[in-house]
Chain A
Amino acid sequence: GAVVSQHPSWVICKSGTSVKIECRSLDFQATTMFWYRQFPKQSLMLMATSNEGSKATYEQGVEKDKFLINHASLTLSTLTVTSAHPEDSSFYICSQIRGAENEQFFGPGTRLTVL
């Protein structure tokens, strides 16, 4: 069964609004979660590393003030896309590392469409 969930699975919003995406660990306490973005027919690109209880680490070129990440508990990380624009329309996927082999488990993704 799924070990990482995301909510919502899809969202449509108007340009200029903010959207919050949740990533939950269902049965595991994750101190670190990752957020990826995937444009149509493209690969996944790491946006940021979400650390429980501390600030997220953003990859080069990702605006931290636009993509707000909060990892307030060991089972929940949230990504808020602020002042969304059509170019932010994408598939957003979170993941977490588990196990001795450091295997990364991915959530089902959230499809964001900004009109």
Chain B
Amino acid sequence: GESVGLHLPTLSVQEGDNSIINCAYSNSASDYFIWYKQESGKGPQFIIDIRSNMDKRQGQRVTVLLNKTVKHLSLQIAATQPGDSAVYFCAESRHEKLTFGTGTRLTIIP
């Protein structure tokens, strides 16, 4: 996983636009990846997951893309809404243990 830093990357998006949040992972042996949304003062909430035998998975308004060649994961949120404001974490799973990325704070501009 990524090293933990004190400065949380931020992304500001106009309401209604699409958001793309990126994540790089380090362990090529990881076979399961998850995106979580964390609102202030709350625990992480599952958004979408993808296994290493896939390169794309779609949910409701969200799409996860996995590029194993460059060890990159992205989360696309369509038609971003004010309720999407939160910190988004990618996580890689190996033997049921999760390693979280640094996180990205998504801010929606009205």
A45 CA to B2 CA, complexed, in Å: 11
Cβ B43 vs Cβ A93 within 8 A = yes
**A44 interface contact, C-beta 8 A:** yes
Most A CB within 10 A of own CB, among B5, B32, B100: B100
Q: Report which of A44, A108, A111 forms a contact with B89, defined as CB distance below 8 A.
A: A44
Smallest CB–CB gap between A74 and chain B, Å? 17
Question: Which chain A residue shows the least CB distance to B46?
Answer: A103
Please name all residues of chain A whose beta carbon is closer than 8 Å to the beta carbon of B36 when the two chains form the complex.
Answer: 106
Cβ B43 vs Cβ A49 within 8 A = no
Q: How many A-B residue pairs have CB under 8 A?
A: 60
Q: How large is the interface on B (under 10, 10 to 19, 20 to 34, 35 or more residues)?
A: 20 to 34
Q: Report which of A45, A101, A103, A106 forms a contact with B43, defined as CB distance below 8 A.
A: A106
A109 CA to B44 CA, complexed, in Å: 9
**B30 interface contact, C-beta 8 A:** no
**A42 interface contact, C-beta 8 A:** yes
Please name all residues of chain B whose beta carbon is closer than 8 Å to the beta carbon of A102 when the two chains form the complex.
Answer: 32, 93, 96
**A58 interface contact, C-beta 8 A:** no
**A43 interface contact, C-beta 8 A:** yes
Cβ A41 vs Cβ B43 within 8 A = no
Within 8 A of B (CB), among A82-115: 93, 95, 97, 101-109, 111
Cβ A43 vs Cβ B100 within 8 A = yes
**B61 interface contact, C-beta 8 A:** no
Please name all residues of chain A whose beta carbon is closer than 8 Å to the beta carbon of B46 when the two chains form the complex.
Answer: 103-105
**B70 interface contact, C-beta 8 A:** no
Q: Interface on B for A, CB 8 Å cutoff?
A: 2, 4-8, 32, 34, 36, 41-46, 49, 89, 93, 96-103
Q: Interface on A for B, CB 8 Å cutoff?
A: 4, 6, 32, 34, 41-46, 49, 93, 95, 97, 101-109, 111
